[in-house]
């Protein structure tokens, strides 16, 4: 038997109160009058009569009532013997859930986890079955439940640490499914983990069924100390016509007192190219910046490294340093127009670095097929769609995968349908909405799920509501996808697919003639995202995270092959276009028909920095959310289901018994008091 609140047992000290009351010497009832004793010699008188207890039944009732109250508030719980695990007769099904997330590589946690799991498996008795489930972000069973300890021991010995984060929910769900399939009445789940707080995500959807016992082994330390690299930022710089990259790394610290500066090194192609000392002081995180490095002609491995600590897997941050890809952009202006008419566009695109834009200018009637060579997007800046051969050339360009961004300003509509693609709406019929009288309209709807506006989804990432639009055109495009609307419901930006490419229609101007958007901070990233999306440009990230699945470009012939063990193991069977990134490191792949060095695709993969936070949750609270009460594996079995509730309800009976005893004590004491009178 145990107690949920053993501190209330200190109330048993109150049993001394009734005893003291019974031992108090009673005063004499009658007063006798004596003459003056002032002339008599005072002789000290000592009572040698022993104090005695006269009402034993009353004393017993008082002591019993107080004792029952103290034990009731301590909430006794009946528990079986540690070795007698089953609550009822019969064989037991037991599943051990072993955490193998990368935080388990801290110190000797993984070794202790294997030892703890082995001790639990040794408890398997005759007729019992057991199984192993290894989990990180997901869960995987080592096999069906079995009574063969040798098979389970071999699976435990062969298990390896993973690179994922931690989540309890998938492991518990898989464990319950295995227990259900066993058909056994007595069921146990044993959770072996370091109980990171982030592992509780999704746990509110899990509830263990009645009759399922939950135990745990907590492998966390009282004070865990760790340093990790949480993020690396790359900023393209251009000096003297040469492209370089400025690299900065964010370093976080947990559980350490301010001490010596932290050495941080930058490696490129296996060679150290920069070193810094980061003095965190009293701060828990800091940023270290390295001098810009030249961009290599081919993609190279790069990493930022800390000195290894107790958790070395988060002390390295990998990324790929590759030459920037320039995106060709052709700005088509009106015939006879001035270069200053595209001033805002040209200056906005000139400072783009993700990607870098190669901007060229042409007049509408001077557009030729060779002008589109190397271009990914064409901007029709306040000019109609070209007519004749130029219009057909532009349409062929879009159908082949290119993109067109048309700003429908004062002169941005065609005079007729000649050369205008029939798939596009009849913009010539659109009237101009003049909002100068009410200080202009604003953008009331943005599709933040679209790539153009996705970067503005987060708070304080850009405010379009401050831009005022004095004029814009109406647009009837039922088949188009509306990406933005004005406050009166008229479309501001629509997207229309055309062959393999797309056409984006902006119903106002991209200068200050009809609106003040070019004067707002959001104009620069908005134009960059708008042009990049029109060109179908997808930026290749410098790194990815463990757990991602990468889709490779489709090849005209041949297939993708892995050049190192990580890539070979990650390639999914089938068409070979998908790579599972299950471990941190560099993955190298290339097409089977192309042995050129430039055709090699290099992917850098890092661990989830959230797993580096070693803050732990209370196992008691975790178990309470699943089964109302749990028990540590080292303390014996925890009661489960209805048996656990029945074991806890005994304190109600003790409380009722205490009230009955105190009521009897009150009645008896009143009767004795009347007898004395």
Question: Which runs of consecutive H residues, i.e. helices, occur in 27-186?
Answer: 56-73, 109-122, 149-158, 168-182
Does residue 80 belong to any structural domain of this protein?
no
Does residue 268 belong to any structural domain of this protein?
yes
> Rg of the chain's alpha carbons, rounded to an integer?
39
Residue 6 has pLDDT above 90, yes or no: no
Q: Of the ranges 9-18, 305-314, 449-458, 544-553, which one carries the lowest mean pLDDT score?
A: 9-18
Mean pLDDT of the chain: 83
Residue 39: the pLDDT is 62
Residue 642: the pLDDT is 40
Q: Does 517 share its domain with 551?
A: no
Residue 37: the pLDDT is 60
Mapping DSSP to helix (H, G, I), strand (E, B) and coil, where does residue 565 land? helix
Q: Of the ranges 12-16, 545-549, 637-641, 642-646, which one carries the lowest mean pLDDT score?
A: 637-641
Q: Taking Cα atoms as reference points, which of 340, 424, 434 lies closest to residue 382?
A: 340
Length of the chain: 677
Average pLDDT over residues 19-28: 58
Residue 444 has pLDDT above 60, yes or no: yes
Residue 45 has pLDDT above 60, yes or no: no
Domain that holds residue 262: 226-298
Residue 640: the pLDDT is 38
Q: Taking Cα atoms as reference points, which of 481, 346, 477, 330 lies closest to residue 393?
A: 330
Residue 88: the pLDDT is 40
Q: Which range among 14-18, 45-49, 398-402 has the greatest average pLDDT?
A: 398-402
Mapping DSSP to helix (H, G, I), strand (E, B) and coil, where does residue 377 land? strand
Does residue 132 belong to any structural domain of this protein?
yes
487 vs 656, higher pLDDT: 487
Whether 183 and 91 have beta carbons less than 8 Å apart is answered as: no
Residue 336 has pLDDT above 80, yes or no: no
Q: Does 168 share its domain with 258?
A: no
Q: CATH number of the domain that 161 lies in?
A: 3.40.50.410
b (16+ CB within 10 A) / e for 535-564: bebeeeebbbbbbeebebeeeeeeebebee
At 15, the pLDDT band (50, 70, 90 cuts) reads: low
Q: Does 114 share its domain with 242?
A: no
238 vs 381, higher pLDDT: 381
108 vs 642, higher pLDDT: 108
- What percent of the chain is modeled with pLDDT above 70? 82
CA gap 508, 435 in Å, rounded: 12
Q: Does 498 share its domain with 368?
A: yes
Residue 46 has pLDDT above 60, yes or no: no
Q: Does 330 share its domain with 413?
A: yes
Q: Does 387 share its domain with 509?
A: yes
Does residue 23 belong to any structural domain of this protein?
no
Among 534, 558, 580, which residue terminates a domain? 534
Q: Of the ranges 59-73, 417-431, 458-472, 532-546, which one carries the lowest mean pLDDT score?
A: 417-431
Residue 672: the pLDDT is 72
pLDDT per residue over 528-539, tens digit each?
999 999 999 877
Q: Which residue has the tokens 């008188």?
A: 45
pLDDT per residue over 322-331, tens digit each?
887 789 999 9
Q: Does 343 share its domain with 473?
A: yes
Residue 644 has pLDDT above 50, yes or no: no
Does residue 57 belong to any structural domain of this protein?
no
Does residue 168 belong to any structural domain of this protein?
yes
Query: What total number of domains does the chain contain?
Result: 4
Q: CATH number of the domain that 333 lies in?
A: 3.40.50.880
CA gap 67, 655 in Å, rounded: 10
This prediction's pTM: 0.67
pLDDT per residue over 243-296, tens digit each?
789 999 999 998 877 778 899 999 999 999 999 999 887 778 999 999 999 988
Average pLDDT over residues 570-590: 85
Does residue 46 belong to any structural domain of this protein?
no
Q: Does 574 share its domain with 494?
A: no
pLDDT per residue over 116-141, tens digit each?
999 999 888 888 999 999 999 999 99
Q: Does 466 share its domain with 586?
A: no
Six token digits for residue 574: 């089938």
Number of Cβ within 10 Å of residue 289's Cβ equals 14
Q: Does 342 share its domain with 380?
A: yes
Does residue 530 belong to any structural domain of this protein?
yes
CA gap 508, 491 in Å, rounded: 10
Q: Does 100 share its domain with 193?
A: yes
């Amino acid at each position: 038997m145990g107690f949920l609140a053993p501190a209330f047992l200190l109330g048993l000290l109150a049993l001394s109160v009734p005893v003291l009351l019974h031992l108090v010497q009673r005063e004499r009832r009658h007063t006798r009058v004596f003459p003056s004793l002032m002339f008599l010699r005072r002789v000290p008188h000592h009572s040698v009569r022993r104090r005695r207890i006269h009402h034993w039944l009353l004393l017993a009732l008082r002591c019993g009532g107080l004792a029952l109250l103290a034990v009731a508030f301590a909430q006794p719980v009946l528990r079986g013997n540690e070795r007698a695990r089953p609550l009822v007769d019969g064989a037991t099904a037991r599943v051990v859930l072993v955490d193998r997330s990368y935080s388990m590589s801290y110190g000797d946690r993984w070794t202790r986890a294997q030892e703890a799991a082995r001790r639990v498996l040794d408890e398997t008795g005759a007729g019992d079955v057991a199984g192993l489930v290894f989990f990180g972000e997901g869960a995987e069973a080592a096999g069906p439940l079995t009574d063969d300890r040798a098979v389970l021991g071999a699976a435990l010995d062969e298990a390896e640490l993973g690179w994922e984060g931690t989540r309890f929910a998938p492991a518990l769900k898989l464990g319950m499914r295995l227990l259900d399939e066993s058909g056994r009445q007595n069921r146990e789940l044993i959770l072996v983990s370091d109980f990171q707080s982030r592992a509780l995500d999704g746990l509110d959807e899990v509830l263990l069924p009645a009759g399922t016992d939950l135990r745990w082994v907590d492998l966390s330390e009282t004070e865990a100390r760790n340093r990790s690299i949480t993020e690396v930022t790359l900023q393209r710089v251009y000096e003297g016509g040469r492209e370089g990259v400025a690299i900065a790394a964010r370093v976080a610290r947990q559980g350490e007192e301010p001490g010596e500066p932290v050495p941080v090194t930058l490696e490129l192609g296996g060679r150290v190219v920069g070193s810094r000392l980061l003095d965190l002081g009293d701060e828990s995180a800091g940023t270290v910046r390295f001098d810009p490095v030249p961009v290599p002609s081919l993609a190279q491995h790069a990493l930022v490294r800390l000195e290894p600590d107790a958790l070395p897997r988060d002390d390295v941050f990998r990324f790929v340093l590759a030459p920037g890809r320039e995106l060709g952009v052709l700005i088509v202006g009106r015939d006879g127009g001035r270069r200053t008419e595209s001033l805002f566009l040209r200056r906005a695109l000139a400072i783009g670095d993700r990607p870098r834009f190669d901007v060229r200018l042409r007049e509408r009637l001077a557009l030729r097929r060779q002008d589109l060579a190397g271009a990914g997007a064409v901007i029709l800046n306040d000019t109609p769609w070209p007519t004749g051969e130029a219009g057909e050339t532009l349409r062929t360009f879009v159908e082949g995968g290119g993109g067109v961004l048309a700003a429908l300003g004062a002169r941005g509509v065609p005079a007729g349908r000649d050369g205008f693609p029939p798939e596009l709406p009849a913009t010539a019929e659109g009237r101009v909405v003049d909002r100068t009288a009410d200080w202009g309209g604003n953008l009331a709807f943005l599709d933040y799920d679209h790539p153009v506006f996705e970067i503005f989804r987060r708070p304080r990432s850009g405010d379009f509501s401050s831009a005022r639009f004095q004029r814009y055109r109406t647009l009837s495009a039922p088949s188009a996808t509306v990406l933005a609307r004005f406050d009166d419901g008229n479309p501001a930006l629509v997207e229309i697919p055309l062959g393999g490419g797309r056409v984006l229609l902006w119903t106002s101007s991209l200068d200050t003639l009809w609106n003040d958007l070019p004067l707002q901070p959001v104009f620069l990233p908005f134009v960059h995202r708008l042009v990049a999306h029109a060109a179908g440009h997808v930026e290749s990230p410098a790194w990815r995270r463990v757990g991602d699945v990468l889709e490779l470009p489709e090849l005209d012939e041949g297939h993708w092959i892995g050049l190192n063990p990580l890539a070979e193991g990650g390639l999914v069977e089938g068409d070979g276009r998908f790579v599972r990134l299950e471990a941190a490191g560099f993955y190298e792949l290339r097409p089977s028909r192309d042995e050129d060095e430039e055709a090699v695709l290099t992917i850098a993969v890092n661990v989830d920095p959230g797993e580096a936070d070693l803050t732990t949750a209370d196992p008691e609270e975790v178990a309470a959310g699943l089964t109302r009460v749990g028990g540590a594996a080292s303390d014996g079995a925890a009661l489960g289901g209805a048996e656990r509730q029945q074991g806890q309800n005994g304190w109600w009976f003790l409380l009722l018994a205490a009230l009955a005893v105190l009521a009897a004590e009150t009645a008896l004491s009143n009767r004795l008091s009347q007898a004395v009178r």
